[in-house]
Each structure stands twice: as structure tokens, then as C-alpha cells.
Amino acid sequence: MNIEINVPTSLNEITLGQYQKFLKVAQENQEGSFLNAKMIEIFCGIPLSDSYKLKMSSVEAIVDILTEMLNETPTHIDKFTLNGTQYGFIPDLDEMSLGEYVDLDGNASDWQKMHIAMNVLYRPIVTSKASKYNIEEYTADDSEKMKAMPLGAAIGSLFFFLQFRDRVIEAYDSLFQQSRTDGDYSRAANFSAKWGWYSSIFSLAGGDVRKLEDITKLNIHQCFTFLSFTKEKAEIEAQQIKSKF
């Protein structure tokens, strides 16, 4: 029986959604014929039953091609087209809002939530001139559509963002220290782990819940600078009070 198979030749011929689906299967099936069959089914778009009908030599060859491809580190992609709409990467990460950064930081470490992070990094282009362009304002709605984006764009932009995040952590190191050290299960550590970014946003809003949404629209550097200042100020004041006693 002859089975026609279209094997992807680049990561941009695989969607983010396909990769998420494969990773979920791979977590439960570390290796073996079933995982190989699922890999071919998911990335080559054929029924699972047809995957099992392939010759072992063909399966091994296809799996080798796909595995090598998935281990590649793609270059960063500024633009791609999805369902007739051109999407562009955030022109300047330093200009992103606190809300954008929080949604990125909270989802970029989990591949099953990666489409939410990609919904922050890539948005429809509204105007463009030469190599410059403007993208739509960020909205958390309808992130599911990003599951259809090219996997190469997703992986390349993820590496790009993680490098940016490392620079942010280095610049504001006092804010990004581990909230809970190994073995620390104190009430304060549990509180910090539970509420995460909400505590920072609440602090920036001065404890006024009506201002929370407005705070998330402020620039990340403006927010992080203020948080760093207030934290260091509080620590100095605490030390001064302690020294008096």
C-alpha cells in the first residue's frame, strides 16, 4: 500500500499547535513505536492508522528528519502571515507595558500556554513603511489563534524574549530574587509564591483596586524603577529602626 506523506522541511511548516500537541503526547510516552507514529501523524498530517502501516525504515527516516528539525535553533522572525493577516513582532521590547510583560513572563515557561505568550509578542500590523511598522494594541482576547502560527517564529521569538528578560532581571536584580529559598515554607514565602505579580501591581496602585488596570498599562521600566526604589527605601528604613533598638 502506497501512502503519500508530506514531511515538513522547516520549522515554519509546523504550527505551534502541532508542537504543543506532540509535547503533550511525548510527556506521557517517552519513546517507542507509538510516539514515532504520533509524531508522523501530527507533523505530517496523516491518520495514526496509516503511520503504523509504514515500513520501519521509512518511519525511522521520517522521525530522524523531524527530530533533527525540532532540535534546530531558528533565527528570529519579525513578520509572518496568518489567515491572510500579517503579524509583526513587538518593535521595541523596552516599550512594552507591565501587563504585557506579566502575561509573557507568566506563560513563556510553559509550552502548553505558549500561544498566550505569542499573542503578546506578535500582533496584526496596522501601518508599515519600509522596514518599520506599527502593531495593534495588546489585548488578551483570542490567543487561541496563535496556535496556527509557524513554530519557527515561536521558538525564535522565545529565545529573543528570554535574552531580554535576562537583561531585565540583571538590571532590577533586587526585584527578581527568589521569593522562596529551598526549604522556606514560611507564611511570607507562601504568600509571595501564591500572589506573584499581583503583589507588585497592588503596590504600584497604592492599594487602590480601582487603579490596577491603569497600572498594567504603564511602561515596565517605569514600574520596575519605582518598585526597586520603594523596596530599597523600605529596607534602609527597616535597618535604621532596627539599629535604634
Task: Give the pLDDT score at 179.
Answer: 47
Query: Which neighbouring-strand residues pair with 133?
Result: 128
Which residue has better confidence, 92 or 194?
92
Question: Is residue 154 one of the residues assigned to a domain?
Answer: yes
Same domain, 119 and 146: yes
The separation between CA 152 and the C-alpha centre of its own chain, rounded to angstroms, equals 13
134 and 191 share one domain: no
192: in domain: yes
181 located within any domain? yes
Q: How far, in Å, CA of 201 to CA of 83, rounded? A: 36
φ, ψ at 181 (rounded to 5°): -80, 165
Q: Are 151 and 16 in contact (CB under 8 A)?
A: yes
Instruction: Name residues whose C-beta falls within 8 Å of residue 198's C-beta, 6 or more positions apart in sequence.
Output: none
Q: What is the mean pLDDT of the chain?
A: 89
- How far is residue 65's CA from residue 59's CA, in Å, rounded to a whole number? 10
What's the domain range around 28? 11-70
Q: How far is Cα 188 from Cα 186, in angstroms, rounded to an integer? A: 5
More confident residue, 65 or 203: 65
Q: Which of 171, 189, 216 is the last residue of a domain?
A: 171
Asked if residue 158 and residue 188 are part of one domain, the reply reads: no
Whether 89 and 157 map to the same domain: the answer is yes
Tens of pLDDT, residue by residue over 204-221, are 998 888 999 899 999 999
Domain end call among 70, 92, 116: 70
The residue whose grid cell reads 503511520 is 51
Q: What is the pLDDT of residues 13-61, one digit of tens each?
A: 999 999 999 999 999 887 788 999 999 999 999 999 999 889 999 999 9
- The C-alpha atoms of residue 222 and residue 226 are separated, in whole angstroms, by 6
Question: Last residue of a domain, which of 147, 171, 195?
Answer: 171
Interaxial angle between packed helices 114-121 and 16-28, expressed in degrees from 0 to 180 and rounded to the nearest 10: 160
pLDDT reported for residue 175: 84
> Which of 131-140, 168-177, 187-196 is predicted least confidently?
187-196
* Residues 160 and 187 placed together within one structural domain of the fold: no
Close Cβ partners of 238 (under 8 Å, ≥ 6 residues apart): none
201 in the same domain as 151 = no
Closest listed residue to residue 135, CA positions, set 88, 101, 82, 96:
88
pLDDT, tens digit, 9 for 90 and up, residues 173-190? 988 875 445 556 666 667
Number of folded domains in the chain?
Answer: 3
Show the cell assigned to 117: 505568550
Q: Is the pLDDT of residue 162 over 50?
A: yes
